[in-house]
Structure 1
Amino acid sequence: MKKTASAVWQGGLKDGKGTISTGSGALKENPYGFNTRFEEQPGTNPEELIGAAHAGCFSMAFSMMLGMENFTAERIETKAAVTLDKVGEGFEITSIDLTMSAKIPGIDNEQFQTIANKAKEGCPVSKVLNAKISLDATLLN
């Protein structure tokens, strides 16, 4: 299985502009630039997209691992905060903080935490990232 995405960039770092697209068409020529990445202007950026991918991947991995233990979530909500820091001459994603809450009938908190941490380690996106990944998991009643 192979998924695709593309980016087009025109101009210099600070005055240039680009677009990001996915092969599925979910994103089609979404604009991004220095201001959306480093100056908190509206628009997307690579770190935000990595966060969305990580939150989605983790939620699916957690759902799968719950199923392996005969649990089914009513709802899983995951947020990812991606930290981009200046390191030496460039930048680096240094950490991703996952915050997840879920409603799962019949599970106790110890089982919940164990499965959540396995999902954090086993999620394909977690495996590809070279950043410190933390997880704050809350079981909802």
Structure 2
Amino acid sequence: MLPANAGSVTGGAQLARPGFFLEPTVVAGVRQGDGIVQEETFGPVLTVQPFVDGTEALRLANDVRFGLAAGVWPSDHDRAVRATRILHTGLVWVNTHGTTVSEMPHGGVEHPGYGSDLSLSGLLDHSQAKHVML
């Protein structure tokens, strides 16, 4: 359910199949504290919020309870590097979206759960090291 202050710009209809599936949806008019912003709302749902500058955009992006992934679309390299350093997420896409490689770990920060998938990091998450000194 959308907060009273928000509305669907496009999409939002439930698909006629079992489960809780929506057509691709864009929601505008949301506030930072709204559940659709603060919770793990998986796609295809996109929320749109205004911001004054890049610093505020990054602050808003970090002001959520979950930190699975983020995407930035800067036009210059320095802004891209700055954003990746500031964003508190397990994965940051720069000028792309949805791509991963098996050599790199994938996991979130904050409250999405514990652990990593993929790579040696993911394997070590399912292992227990023991230091034995004889």
Q: TM-score range by the shorter chain?
A: under 0.3
**TM superposition score normalised by structure 1:** 0.24
Name which structure has the greater RCO, CA cutoff 8 Å, separation 6+: 1
From the two aligned structures, give the one with the greater helix fraction: 1
Q: Please identify which structure carries the higher strand content.
A: 1
